[in-house]
Amino acid sequence: MWYFVAPKVVFGQDALSHLAELKGRSAFIVTDKNIVSLGFVDKVREQLSQAGIQTAVFDEIESDPSLQTVQKGVAVMNQYGPDLVVAVGGGSVMDAAKAMRVQYERPDIKPEEINPFISDLGLGAKCKLVCVTTTSGTGAEATFAIILTDTADQRKLSLINREVVPDIAIVDPELARVMPPQITADTGMDALTHAVEGYTCAWKNDFADGLCIKAIQIVFKYLSRAVKNGNDMEARERMHNAGCIGGIGFINALSSMAHAAGHSLGALFHVPHGRAVGMFLPYTIEYIGEAREELWAEIAYAIKLEVPEGKRAATVLAQAIRGLAREINQPLSIEQMGISLDSFNKAMEKLVDNVMSDGSLIVSARIPSVAESEKFFNYTYEGKSIDF
Ligand SMILES: [Fe+2]
């Protein structure tokens, strides 16, 4: 028995106006200061006021949100007592909002205790969650995963429970228009990594496969256009869709080794999530290699890559991903991220520790030993293709 879970998705131009059709008394808007200064929160409040819904704003979400920030937000939310939570922002904002909503509805469960085995969170009785995404790729508007940072322990927490999925995802490309090229590139690589990992991990399934393949095709066709010209609204809209489609695809299968490695590096060196997982993706494809050769070939076929006689599809696909990354100025190695060899070596033990204990690694089609993990990180530092 398995489940396929997704929010109601409202997408395309003017999707934001769906907020004016919501029913409710008061909405707690979770966001960050940058989103406020872009005027998006005003737009959201305008729509909600048309529906007769009062609003309060909590704009203190930082990137890589911490447990402490979530707790602070919940304290404010408890005083306000909303029946709607509206997250407006990227992955960090939406993940923090998901965690805050759980604690608001279930004060007996701490955010760090959320796990797949809690069978009845009973969410929705006290409030509904609406996620308005301003970036194209995290898929957080449609997933039931929450990534928080435990600052005390320098560790990222991947918290998963099906009930955490937002009730409504709003995917309006107009909100992605002002995204700077770097964030477009980072989050776009996140979308690609979700889709490739969802399609090839151990828990892949028929329901998720089509979504993952579609997201991969869109990213390969439109990501570099969206990075190079933010006003290319066709590319913006398709990438905004791809982020959400890839999110629904991967969360109903799971992400795997590139995410495990990316979480590990990100927690220690504060590399943006999408940039980290996207950099690791081709290396993990090479590492997993034969265990998924048929699936790499299927992906290659879907994006019209030619696999020459005698060459492995894993190699061809990994190189194509590096080609795309190069086109949009993404780093191809840990060294290119500006991390010194000295600090990398000092962090190695923790890097390996983190990756081996990351939940995403369990579903990788090939799981490294501790020694292989260390070797893997050394290769990715130098930018050397995996050959073991
Ligand atoms: Fe991701």
| pTM, to two decimals | 0.95
CA of 354 to the centre of ligand 1 (A): 16
Centroid of ligand 1 to alpha carbon of 195 (angstroms): 10
- Return the percentage of the chain with pLDDT > 90, whole number: 93
What would the mean pLDDT of 338-367 be, rounded to a whole number? 95
Query: 277: CA distance to ligand 1 center in Å?
Result: 7
Distance 73 CA to ligand 1 centre (A): 24
CA of 219 to the centre of ligand 1 (A): 14
Q: Look at residue 267 in the predicted model and tell me its pLDDT.
A: 85
What is the per-residue pLDDT across 31-71, written as a single tens digit (0 to 9) for each?
A: 999 999 999 999 999 999 999 999 999 999 998 899 999 99
Quote the ligand 1 centre to 304 CA distance (angstroms).
25
CA of 309 to the centre of ligand 1 (A): 33
Cα(125) to ligand 1 centroid in Å equals 29
Q: How far is the CA of 68 from the centre of ligand 1 (A)?
A: 22
- Domain regions of the chain by residue span: 8-176, 181-382
Tens digit of each residue's pLDDT (9 = 90 or more) over 2-28: 999 999 999 999 999 999 999 999 999
Centre of ligand 1 from the C-alpha of residue 81, in Å: 31
Position 270 scores a pLDDT of: 87
- C-alpha of residue 317 to centroid of ligand 1, in Å: 19
Residues with CB under 5 A from ligand 1 (ion): 190
For the chain, give the mean pLDDT. 96
Quick: pLDDT tens for 98-151.
Answer: 999 999 999 999 888 999 888 899 999 999 999 999 999 999 999 999 999 888
pLDDT value at 180 more than 80: yes
Task: Mention the CATH class of domain 181-382.
Answer: mainly alpha
Distance, in Å, from the CA atom of 280 to the CA atom of 8, rounded to the nearest integer, reads 32
Q: Are 321 and 224 in contact (CB under 8 A)?
A: no
156 pLDDT above the threshold of 80: no
Ligand 1 midpoint to CA 353 (Å): 20
pLDDT over threshold 80, residue 155:
no
Supply the pLDDT for residue 220. Answer: 98
**Strands annotated E in the chain:** 8-11, 26-30, 54-58, 84-89, 128-133, 145-150, 155-160, 168-171
- Please give the Cα distance from 282 to 262 (Å, whole number): 12
Q: How far is ligand 1, taken at its centre, from the CA of residue 243, in Å?
A: 10
Question: Rounded CA gap, 364 and 359, in Å?
Answer: 10
pLDDT of 326 > 90? The answer is yes
Which of the four pLDDT bands, split at 50, 70 and 90, describes residue 355? very high
**59 close to 41: Cβ distance less than 8 angstroms:** yes
How many A from CA of 128 to the centre of ligand 1?
24
CATH entry, 8-176, from 1.10.3980.10, 3.40.50.300, 3.40.50.1970, 3.30.460.10: 3.40.50.1970
End-to-end Cα separation, the chain, in angstroms: 36
Ligand 1 centroid–CA 137 distance in Å is 8
How close is the Cα of 378 to the center of ligand 1, in Å? 22
Distance 52 CA to ligand 1 centre (A): 36
pLDDT score of 369 more than 90? yes
State in Å: Cα 328 to ligand 1 middle: 18
* CA 159 to ligand 1 centroid distance, Å: 13
pLDDT at residue 157 in the model: 85
What's the 136 CA to ligand 1 centre distance in angstroms? Answer: 11
Asked if residue 334 has pLDDT above 90, the reply is: yes
